[in-house]
Amino acid sequence: MDAAAFTRDRLTEAAKRLDELKALEKARTEWAEHEQVLAERNRLAEEMERMAEAIMRTARVVSKIAACDREIGRVNATSTLGLGYVPLVLSGAAPAIKALFQEALVWDAFIAVARLPSRAA
């Protein structure tokens, strides 16, 4: 009976140690995952920071395009001289650029970056 109790106690202790080792391994895995995600986040944040000036330049151009397109719309709607239709600025742009800026969310985001009213205003 003492041998059985001894074996039981050893197995109980081994199970506790196994649980501790599993918890330690889980903590190590979570730490590694945390560090990997944090490193990627930091890399992307730095990359975005390097792009800030280009984003601002694009935002300024988008705001100018919005103003020009409004003027084009006015001229096209009111011209009586028959000088021909003036196409919108992005009508001749590459398909990818046209598709990108046809999305109101993208357009409005650039307008917001430029700290100008949205094109709906």
For 41-49, what is the mean pLDDT? 94
| For the chain, counts of helices (H) and of strands (E) | 4, 0
As a whole number, mean pLDDT of residues 71-89 equals 90
- For residues 47-72, give the mean pLDDT: 89
DSSP symbols for 3-60 = HHHHHHHHHHHHHHHHHHHHHHHHHHHHHHHHHHHHHHHHHHHHHHHHTHHHHHHHHH
Residue 81, both tokens? 């001289």
Of 39, 21, 41, 19, residue with least CA distance to 29: 21
pLDDT at 121: 43
Mean pLDDT score of the chain, rounded to an integer? Answer: 88
- Per-residue model confidence (pLDDT) at position 57: 87
